[in-house]
């Protein structure tokens, strides 16, 4: 059974401190008023609480709406930052590997390749974020799965493991650092979650 504090904690989670306290006080007042009206009609305190909470709506959905209202561009900005961050990591990693195996050559990636990589990351990461948000807004309780490390990184390890089997089957095709291409999914997912956490920390410090 939900209690009042737990319900409101979910709604105000991730909001700036000032807005969080104001919203908390306002919601407590509204819910208490509603509960008092119900108890006058003969409902028990627990029944009144459950009816009042049900009338207010799903706490995760309300939390999402609150965040959109307070930070309208927060998640969009974070997503773009993540995508650019991962793209840059791949560019630097590719350059370092090519410099190691082909020193002296022009190992700079052409702009067209960088943009192509960016849009591929943009599409894949965008789909993952949409699924992540859809699960968060659902009533299904998936606390551990919704940890970003578990949600984004764990499936990528599985995919990377399957892809890396190709190296053992045809090692001659993956010489001179090309074998790194087989690990692009877990590397990308790892960098994406790191970028996500960096953005969150920077954002929290700025508010």
Residues 26 and 106 in one domain: no
Q: How far is CA 180 from the centre of its chain?
A: 25
Same domain, 160 and 195: yes
144-to-136, 151, 154 alpha-carbon distances in Å: 12, 9, 12
Q: Are 125 and 79 in contact (CB under 8 A)?
A: yes
Task: Count the domains in the chain.
Answer: 2
125 and 195 in a single domain? The answer is yes
When pLDDT is averaged across residues 30-47 and rounded to a whole number, the result is 90
pTM: 0.70
The structure tokens 């067209």 sit at 112
Shared-domain flag, residues 79 and 146:
yes
**DSSP secondary structure, 91-103, as one string:** HHHHHHHHHHHST
Q: How many CB atoms lie within 10 A of CB 100?
A: 11
Are both 120 and 182 inside the same structural domain?
yes
Q: Same structural domain for residues 50 and 79?
A: no
pLDDT reported for residue 1: 43
Q: Is residue 63 part of a domain?
A: no
- If one counts every other C-beta atom within 10 angstroms of the C-beta of residue 156, the result is 21
* Residue 67 resides in a domain: no
Most confident of 16-20, 176-180, 185-189: 185-189
Same domain, 28 and 106: no
Predicted confidence at residue 193, as pLDDT, reads 95
Domain assignment present for residue 64? The answer is: no
**In this structure, what token pair is assigned to residue 20?**
């969080």
Which residues, including other chains, have CB under 8 Å from residue 101's CB and lie 6 or more apart? 176, 177
Q: What residues make up the domain containing 24?
A: 4-58
pLDDT at position 128 over 90: yes
Residue 142 counted as domain residue: yes
173 to 11, 99, 102, 178: CA distances (angstroms): 53, 19, 17, 8
Does any domain span residue 134? Answer: yes
Alpha helices, DSSP H only, in 111-183? 111-137, 148, 154-169
Per the model's pLDDT, the better-predicted residue between 81 and 63 turns out to be: 81
CA distance 46 to 50: 6
The verdict on residue 69 lying in a domain is: no
The pLDDT tens digits of the residues spanning 147-178 come to 889 999 999 999 999 999 998 898 888 888 78
Residue 184 reports pLDDT greater than 90: yes
pLDDT (average), residues 96-122: 89
Please indicate, yes or no, whether residues 27 and 99 belong to a single structural domain of this protein: no
Closest CA to 140 of 50, 60, 55: 60
**Is 98 found in the same domain as 187?**
yes
Residue 2 has pLDDT above 70, yes or no: no
For residues 153 and 81, membership in a common domain is answered with yes
Judge whether residue 119 has pLDDT over 60: yes
Residue 68 lies in a domain: no
104/156 same-domain check: yes
First and final C-alpha spacing in the chain: 33
Residue 182 lies in a domain: yes
177 and 105: one domain? yes
Domain-terminating residue out of 13, 32, 58: 58
């Amino acid at each position: 059974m939900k209690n009042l504090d737990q319900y409101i904690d979910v709604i105000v989670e991730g909001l700036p401190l000032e807005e969080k306290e104001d919203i908390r006080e306002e919601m407590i007042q509204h819910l208490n008023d509603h509960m008092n009206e119900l108890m006058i009609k003969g409902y028990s305190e627990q029944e009144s609480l459950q009816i009042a909470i049900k009338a207010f709506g799903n706490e995760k959905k309300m939390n999402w709406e609150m965040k959109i209202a307070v930070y309208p561009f927060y998640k969009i900005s974070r997503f773009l930052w993540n995508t650019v961050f991962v793209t840059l990591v791949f560019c630097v990693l590719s350059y370092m590997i090519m410099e190691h195996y082909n020193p002296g050559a022009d190992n700079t990636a052409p702009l067209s390749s960088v943009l192509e990589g960016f849009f591929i990351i943009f599409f894949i990461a965008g789909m993952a974020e949409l699924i992540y948000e859809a699960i968060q807004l659902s009533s299904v309780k998936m606390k551990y799965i919704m940890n970003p490390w578990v949600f984004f990184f764990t499936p990528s390890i599985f995919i990377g493991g399957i892809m890396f089997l190709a190296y053992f089957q045809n090692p001659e095709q993956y010489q001179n650092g090309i074998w790194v291409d087989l690990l692009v999914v877990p590397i990308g997912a790892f960098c994406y979650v790191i970028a996500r956490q960096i953005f969150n920390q920077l954002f929290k410090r700025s508010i």
